[in-house]
């Protein structure tokens, strides 16, 4: 008989030596309430994912049952033929099979099979009995499944039994998504938009814009500006969006990217500078050749600053363990030995515009934040770093007022955010 179990709990995860214990940054008098709220929110999050499809199924040995083991997908509320159902067995005086589901009904046209006894037609449990194996398999080939609830992506587990044999197979219930694709166009200007967040650094910004125009005279540049006293930035194909003062880096990123109409956007800090080696075309080539990629990073004055993320979900109540390993990387991209996969890259990258929907920039992070976007995107963003595309960095001439805002970071708040939002126990930046 088949076995059906949820994945075994892994138990508490082990924190890397030197990790920050995040609960230590929650005020003691608030901890119990924060812990309970986190638990409740995590339960809601889990309900948004199809738990049935993660159930561990172990196929029985030498089973006489034939059934779909993968790929059976149905539209919600629509009847669909179950493919591949059959019984392979020696001669018997009678054959009896039982099919059960929990989120739908099973049905067949009983009028076509007068030699077969059917009970539970159009119900969640269907029993079929017959003296002929041929007639039994003919009927099994006509059985349809229809979900009885509407959900855009969930699943059901079907039980198929004969004598002392039972098989469990998954049914994916999914509403297909309309494809959303971008018209690439024939030149770089219709393929990429440069996005910039600026704050109190107009001298740097003007140097950057001048360098962009040197190499890409007509490319669209979008600027999100939350300076205290905004200056008007003019020029062909420049869009400046004025924000309330000091809204923060990630809020500005969201605003800038929300206005992009091209397939890709290139992210640049306002104190970078384009050089002869800032070849956006090379990044596009990689992204087009490897469509699974969401982000391709370059280097800033030779510094690629890539990292890998090691995450152990651990005990659900206690939280997971995360290790950001600097210079951690995976294998090279096939056909592009200068590029390799990683979990995160430097703050100069080309990204697919629609990938921002997979992992938005959290506006709660106002000052120092970058790795956090890749942490939120772990498991959904495919990231690569390439060494052959680089951008320059202007000399550091930040004003005291800028430094005050830039480094006025509440570290405790960031750790509290990781504890609650990411359900983490500890984190280590290595």
- With 60 as the cut, is the pLDDT of residue 408 above it? no
Length of the chain: 430
- With 70 as the cut, is the pLDDT of residue 142 above it? yes
Identify whether residues 155 and 205 lie together within a single domain. Answer: no
Residue 390 lies in a domain: yes
Which domain-ending residue is among 174, 209, 236?
174
The one-character DSSP state at 145 is E
Least confident segment among 125-129, 214-218, 411-415? 411-415
Identify whether residues 170 and 192 lie together within a single domain. Answer: no
Identify whether residues 224 and 156 lie together within a single domain. Answer: no
Instruction: Give the chain's mean pLDDT.
Output: 91
Total structural domains in the chain? 2
pLDDT, tens digit (0-9, with 9 covering 90-100), for 160-184: 999 999 999 999 999 998 888 888 8
Q: What is the pLDDT of residue 341?
A: 98
Question: How far apart are the C-alpha atoms of 421 and 178, rounded to whole Å?
Answer: 30
Question: Residue 363 is part of a domain; what is its CATH number?
Answer: 3.90.550.10
pLDDT, tens digit (0-9, with 9 covering 90-100), for 305-314: 999 999 999 9
* pLDDT mean over 287-299: 96
Residue 384 lies in a domain: yes
- With 60 as the cut, is the pLDDT of residue 403 above it? no
Identify whether residues 305 and 332 lie together within a single domain. Answer: yes
Please, which pLDDT band fits residue 270 given cuts at 50, 70 and 90? Answer: very high
Tokens of 324: 């950001």
Identify whether residues 60 and 119 lie together within a single domain. Answer: yes
Which domain-ending residue is among 147, 174, 201?
174
Q: What is the pLDDT of residue 184?
A: 87
φ and ψ at residue 8, rounded to 5 degrees: -65, 135
Q: Specify whether the CB–CB gap between 273 and 208 falls below 8 A.
A: yes
Contacts of 197 (CB under 8 A, 6+ apart): 223, 224, 225, 226, 249, 252, 253, 256, 269, 270
- With 60 as the cut, is the pLDDT of residue 406 above it? no
Identify whether residues 133 and 206 lie together within a single domain. Answer: no
Residue 5 lies in a domain: no
Residue 29 lies in a domain: no
Residue 124 lies in a domain: yes
Q: How far is CA 173 from CA 123, 153, 264, 351, 365, in A?
A: 18, 6, 32, 31, 37
Please, which pLDDT band fits residue 396 given cuts at 50, 70 and 90? Answer: confident
- With 60 as the cut, is the pLDDT of residue 135 above it? yes
Q: Specify whether the CB–CB gap between 108 and 118 falls below 8 A.
A: yes
In b/e form, how buried is each residue of 152-177, taking b as 16+ CB within 10 angstroms? eebbbbbbbbbeebbbbbbbbbbeee
Q: What is the pLDDT of residue 367?
A: 73
Q: What is the pLDDT of residue 304?
A: 93
Question: Residue 121 is part of a domain; what is its CATH number?
Answer: 2.60.40
Please, which pLDDT band fits residue 334 given cuts at 50, 70 and 90? Answer: very high
Least confident segment among 104-108, 120-124, 353-357? 353-357
Please, which pLDDT band fits residue 208 given cuts at 50, 70 and 90? Answer: very high
Q: What is the pLDDT of residue 309?
A: 97
Identify whether residues 235 and 356 lie together within a single domain. Answer: yes
- With 80 as the cut, is the pLDDT of residue 7 above it? no
Question: How far apart are the C-alpha atoms of 266 and 256, rounded to whole Å?
Answer: 11
Could you list the beta-strand ranges (E) of 246-371.
264-269, 272-273, 295-300, 307-315, 319-326, 332-333, 336-342, 349-352
- With 80 as the cut, is the pLDDT of residue 102 above it? yes
* pLDDT mean over 261-274: 96
Of 115 and 399, the one with more pLDDT: 115
Of 221 and 250, the one with more pLDDT: 221
Of 6 and 174, the one with more pLDDT: 174
- With 90 as the cut, is the pLDDT of residue 120 above it? yes
Q: What is the pLDDT of residue 402?
A: 57
φ and ψ at residue 387, rounded to 5 degrees: -90, -10
Structural domain including 102 reads 56-174
Cβ-defined contacts of 228-235 (< 8 Å, 24+): 228/200, 231/202, 233/202, 233/205, 233/206, 233/209, 235/209
φ and ψ at residue 121, rounded to 5 degrees: -60, 135
Q: What is the pLDDT of residue 122?
A: 97
Identify whether residues 84 and 115 lie together within a single domain. Answer: yes
Residue 97 lies in a domain: yes
- With 80 as the cut, is the pLDDT of residue 50 above it? no
Identify whether residues 231 and 163 lie together within a single domain. Answer: no
Identify whether residues 295 and 362 lie together within a single domain. Answer: yes
Identify whether residues 402 and 307 lie together within a single domain. Answer: yes
Q: What is the pLDDT of residue 409?
A: 60
* pLDDT mean over 123-142: 96
Identify whether residues 114 and 155 lie together within a single domain. Answer: yes
Question: How far apart are the C-alpha atoms of 293 and 101, rounded to whole Å?
Answer: 38
Which domain-ending residue is among 141, 174, 207?
174
Residue 50 lies in a domain: no
Q: What is the pLDDT of residue 10?
A: 65
Q: What is the pLDDT of residue 68?
A: 93
- With 70 as the cut, is the pLDDT of residue 249 above it? yes
Residue 246 lies in a domain: yes
């Amino acid at each position: 008989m088949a076995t059906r179990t949820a994945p075994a709990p892994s138990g508490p995860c082990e924190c890397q030596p030197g990790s920050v214990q995040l609960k230590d940054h929650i005020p003691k008098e608030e901890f119990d309430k924060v812990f309970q709220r986190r638990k409740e929110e995590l339960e809601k999050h889990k309900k948004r994912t199809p738990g049935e499809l993660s159930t561990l199924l172990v196929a029985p040995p030498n089973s006489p049952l034939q059934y779909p083991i993968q790929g059976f997908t149905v539209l919600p509320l629509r009847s669909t033929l179950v493919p591949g159902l059959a019984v392979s067995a020696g001669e018997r005086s009678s054959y009896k099979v039982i099919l059960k589901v929990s989120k739908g009904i099973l049905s067949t046209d009983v009028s076509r099979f007068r030699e077969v006894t059917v009970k539970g037609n159009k119900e969640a449990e269907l029993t079929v009995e017959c003296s002929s194996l041929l007639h039994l398999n003919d009927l099994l080939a006509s059985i349809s499944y229809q979900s009885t609830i509407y959900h855009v992506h969930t699943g059901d587990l079907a039980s198929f039994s004969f004598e002392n044999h039972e098989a469990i197979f998954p049914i994916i219930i999914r509403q297909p998504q309309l494809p959303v694709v971008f018209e690439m166009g024939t030149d770089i200007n219709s393929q990429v938009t440069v996005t910039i967040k600026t704050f109190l650094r107009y001298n740097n910004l003007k140097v950057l814009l001048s360098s962009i125009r040197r190499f890409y005279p007509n490319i669209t540049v979008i600027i999100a500006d939350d300076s205290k006293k905004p200056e008007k930035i003019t020029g062909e194909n420049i869009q400046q969006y004025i924000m309330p003062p000091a809204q923060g880096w990630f809020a500005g990123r969201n605003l800038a990217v929300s206005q992009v109409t091209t397939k890709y956007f290139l992210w640049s800090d306002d104190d970078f500078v384009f050089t002869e080696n800032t070849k956006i075309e090379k990044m596009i080539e990689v992204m087009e050749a490897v469509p699974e990629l969401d982000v391709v990073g370059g280097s800033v004055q030779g510094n690629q600053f890539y990292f890998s993320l090691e995450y152990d979900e651990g005990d659900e109540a206690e939280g997971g363990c995360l290790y950001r390993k600097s210079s951690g990387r995976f294998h090279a991209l096939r056909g592009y030995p200068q590029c390799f996969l990683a979990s995160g890259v430097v703050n100069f990258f080309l990204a697919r515009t629609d990938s921002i929907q997979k992992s938005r920039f959290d506006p709660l992070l106002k000052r120092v934040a970058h790795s956090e976007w890749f942490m939120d995107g772990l498991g959904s963003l495919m990231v690569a770093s390439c060494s052959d595309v680089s951008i320059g960095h202007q000399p550091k001439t930040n004003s005291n007022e800028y430094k005050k805002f830039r480094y006025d970071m509440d570290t405790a708040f960031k750790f509290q955010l990781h504890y609650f939002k990411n359900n983490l126990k500890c984190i280590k930046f290595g």
